[in-house]
Structure 1
Amino acid sequence: MRRAGHFALQLDEMTDVSGEAQLLAFVRYKDESDINEHVLFCKALPGKTTGEEIFQVIDSFFKEHDIEWTYCTHICTDGAAAMSGGVKGLLGQVKKVNTEIKWLHCIIHREALASKRVSPELSAVLDDAVKVINFIHSRPLNRRLFQTLCQESGTEHEQLLLHTDVRWLSRGKTLLRLYELHNEVYVFLKEHQHSLAVVFEDAEWVARLAYLADVFSKLNELNLSLQGKESHILNMYDKVKGFTKKLELWRQQQVKPQLPFGPLSDPRPKLAP
């Protein structure tokens, strides 16, 4: 890497399963006629996850391995203040040692943030879905009873998936699983006299749930396609641009359902691949 000269960094601060803050760094650099990329390091953040402490971890690693900041041309992070802050953030600290460095906002993180902005009607459906999942999945007795119901019904899946905002893939998977088991969920909520059982009797609510499941599944596919080795801004731009054109096509094809179906039928609109 030192022989290659200039390089770019991608940084992500996260919390592991033990609750410890970790800083993960990826590096990309030119090696003769090829572009190499790999994990540079993964180090624990000892104190607060501030821009100064993040900089100290990276700077210590650079000094230990005799890497000059002047050769770092670009840094890609999320938009958190600790990363992008121009004074106390990581960017501000790096600018003190390399004024020419360029900062980029991670395209996947930006897309994930944009996908959180949904209409109030769809947001209400998402909130109800999370409440239903929490009622069934977060209580051991309910989870066992629901699993038994699914086994007796012969369904492909026997459990719902919990939703977490920390993992951006969870939303699409959670909604899709809920839709696939919405018949069993309706029966379970009805047996337990839960107030949200009535939403599954509302064909329009079920249609919106199906719509969200399909859209977020497509977003998951997009997010996964933007990752991986040898990804660069040109093919990422093409994929995002193509996806926005698909969204416009789906919007034009969308027709408000006439609600001819009951609460336990399949109202899900089919999205073109």
Structure 2
Amino acid sequence: MRRLFELRDVLLVFFKEKEHNFQKDLEDEDFISRLAYLSDIFGALNHLNLLFQGPDCTVTEFISKLGAFVQKLDLWMKNHYFPDVTCCAYVANPFSVDPANLPFGTWEQEELLDIQADETAKMKHKECSPLNF
């Protein structure tokens, strides 16, 4: 994710040359903001994951590092780092929304259409909680 964010300008040139729809997303400031946000979050999660690896990581260290990460999440929430996700009902139930009405680029809307057409995904969604879906 970080690499995608870092290469966004180069990718924009490439997609313009290829006349690909993704160029519209890379020109959209809202999309770039969401990409930066996701890059930061995934970077933090990757860092946390690396801290947990290795034979020398004890349960005490694990608990300590996880506790620090939870405190960082609380700090980010207090500082309004997380975006407003009230418009994101599709996350809990991707089958309940019309992709054309979402504030996304064409690529994301197409991905959601693929999910909505997947009968196996529909059955799994009915059987489990949104966290496990």
Normalising by the smaller structure, the TM-score range is 0.5 to 0.7
Residue 215 of structure 1 corresponds to 41
**One of 43, 60, 82 as aligned partner of 1:234:** 60
CA deviation string 1:133-155 (max 9, x = no partner): xxxxxxxxxxxxxxxxxxxxxxx
Question: How far apart in 1 are the matches of 2:41 and 2:57?
Answer: 24
Cα shift at 1:248? 1.4
Asked if 1 retains the 8 angstrom alpha-carbon contact of 2:76 and 2:82, the reply is no
Which protein is richer in strand relative to its size?
A: 1
Residue 190 of structure 1 corresponds to 16
CA deviation string 1:155-175 (max 9, x = no partner): xxxxxxxxxxxxxxxxxxxx1
User: Structure 2 length as normaliser, TM-score?
Assistant: 0.57
1:253 aligned to 2:100?
A: no
Cα shift at 1:190? 1.1
Matches of residues 5-154 of structure 1 in structure 2 within 5 Å? none
Larger Rg: 1
Other structure's SS at 1:242 match: helix
Q: What 5-or-longer segments of structure 1 have no aligned partner? A: 1-174, 258-273
Report the AA paired with residue 244 of structure 1: V
Cα shift at 1:256? 8.2
Q: CA RMSD in A?
A: 1.8
- With over 3 angstroms needed to count, the CA separation of the structure-2 counterparts of 1:255 and 1:218, relative to structure 1, is closer
- With over 3 angstroms needed to count, the CA separation of the structure-2 counterparts of 1:256 and 1:231, relative to structure 1, is closer
Question: How far apart in 2 are the matches of 1:231 and 1:255?
Answer: 30
Question: How far apart in 2 are the matches of 1:219 and 1:196?
Answer: 26
Question: How far apart in 2 are the matches of 1:224 and 1:192?
Answer: 37
4+ residue stretches of structure 1 with deviation over 3 A? Answer: none
Which protein is richer in helix relative to its size?
A: 2
The count of aligned residue pairs is 83
Cα shift at 1:232? 1.6
Identity, % of aligned pairs?
39
Q: What 5-or-longer segments of structure 2 have no aligned partner? A: 84-133
